[in-house]
Amino acid sequence: MLNAYLFYQDTCEAAFNYYAKVLGGKVDAMMRASDAPADMAAAPGREKTIMHARMSLPDGSVLMASDAPGEQFHKPQGFSISFTVADPAEGERKFNALADGGSVTMPYGKTFWAKGFGMCVDKFGIPWMVNCPADGM
């Protein structure tokens, strides 16, 4: 099994709440830094940040994430989270919701390999590809 683990700059909780709504997921865990044992205490001012979050999606996929401390956070690059849907209209709805407040890299539309495909970076800085494969792909 392969699952994505994302890092945010103190927006993990907002991102996961948004993804649950947009993708139909269920947040299974949202552990704050303040939940850690005393010998692993959070740095002052970081008590409310998320040290681990887990979301289950309707297709059985799992997405996990946390807030990276400022000096350890790096802007995501060199990858995209690929989300596959069966219905092109559903794909377009999900793409538009993910792109809302972010930026569109490739507008959602029909391609030679897909009934619908688009690329965007969401408002939390995470790159996405939404794909509705053509028959047989």
pLDDT of residue 62: 96
Spatial separation of the C-alpha atoms in residues 83 and 73, rounded to whole Å: 24
* pLDDT for the residue numbered 112: 95
> For the structural domain made of 4-70, what CATH number should be given?
3.30.720.100
DSSP 37: -
Q: CB of 66 within 8 A of CB of 48? A: no
Burial class from Cβ neighbours inside 10 Å (0-12, 13-18, 19+) for residue 68 reads middle
pLDDT at 36: 83
Q: Please tell me the predicted confidence (pLDDT) of residue 7.
A: 95
Query: Which pLDDT score is estimated for 106?
Result: 98
The residue among 35, 33, 89, 84 whose CA lies nearest residue 61 is 84
Shared fold status for 4-70 and 81-133: yes
Question: How many residues are given for the chain?
Answer: 137
Q: Span 81-133: which CATH code?
A: 3.30.720.110
Q: Sketch the domain layout of the chain as residue ranges.
A: 4-70, 81-133
Mean pLDDT by 10 residues, the chain (137 residues): 92 97 96 86 85 95 92 89 96 98 98 97 98 84
The answer to whether the CB of 13 falls within 8 A of the CB of 31 is no
pLDDT at 70: 74
What is the reported pLDDT for 37?
A: 84
Give the span between the Cα atoms of 28 and 92, in whole angstroms.
26
